[in-house]
Structure 1
């Protein structure tokens, strides 16, 4: 009896989780007239590609490319800085507990609402000419991604046995070689896991894109999605269609990197 109850509970949870996704797909493929008059129907009575054709007739390719470039670049910058920062915090002793102070500062920045730094960042980007540029957006995204990457990588680097590094040092490897040939390969699953979550943060970011990007050709996907919700109404078909299109790259990335993601979270080096 308990086994059947457990199975029923699992299937109910799965159905509850999948219902919004089914509703999104169903709405995306409905004709415009049916969306407004179909009530709570999940599936379309007839399949229509009008919403997707409307997207592809615009500049959705450019917007996806913008989002990929910005999210990848922000992740690369964050991982590079965070890797060296986390290694220094784990392996070296700092006077007056400056490492703890630094970590607390990173945590405060991570917990702080981004709107708090939005106006100062806007003034800074405007003064150095980086408004409405991908580089400016990549640098602004570090407010989200860098603190997250540092905290994630701390645990992974702590799991790297110090004895392996010491053995490399005895063989004549300097610090850079130990980082490249010892620490980096052993932390690779953790780096991939961190990169995926950092990519998701950059992919979904909206506030800084809204403030810093003014030309439609430089928009990112989240900013483009907001255009379908106006005071005149919501274009539900196009909104659901762009939701599907924008989700596919992250789903493909997570699926491809799944084995590294699982290894990263189960990382227990001997």
Structure 2
């Protein structure tokens, strides 16, 4: 990633070039990313290929001013942070489903980021509704965040105060917990972007993936709320939880919402293209 690409990425986030890779800088970039670059799965339903290569990620996130899902968002953010001097390690995770069971291997990608001032953080701008700020990686107590109360715990079945089923535990695995519910199980072994190609392919093609079953485009708002466009349903959630829900009837309204609310220019309205059940 050269200096021109770094500057373009920072402009997308509305951020100045930092002098040093500190914890405060990481926190600011993390929040700006969540406010600016939407979590979205539109490529899956527009027939666009998802490629986990640095150039293609930057072309999409910066050049095309699009968003993406976890592999793309955390993948691209990791590239930027590395270029700014942060020590970044890619980590694999398996997401807990509603039934408490773990998803596929390499189900999710997150970032472990070490800063110049001694900080060690879990950064994740690719999980949809999650923490607004990085979480202290070594902290095992509760961590208050605008997105909820979080805890990083040593993984194990039937831990007190945690809702979820029993699952096999790998050496050093960690459970990331939000408001008392397990979100995902994090491995501590370093990974590379290519390790997640199979997971990205599965999530973008399998009828069992929730990404192929629905449309989503979502970001945090300046006041700490959230705005989400799911198909034709536009939901604006205030920081206090109050919701305004509207159904957009005309294609022009949908395209205008993508453009004005998320900065995404589309030539057509995405429609759900669920693969065959045996696909």
Q: Which has the higher helix share?
A: 1
Category of TM-score, reference length = shorter chain: under 0.3
Q: Which has the higher strand share?
A: 2
- Report which of the two structures shows the higher radius of gyration computed on alpha carbons: 1
Query: Normalised by the size of structure 2, how large is the TM-score?
Result: 0.23
Q: Which fold has the larger relative contact order, with Cα–Cα distance below 8 Å and residues 6 or more apart in sequence? A: 1
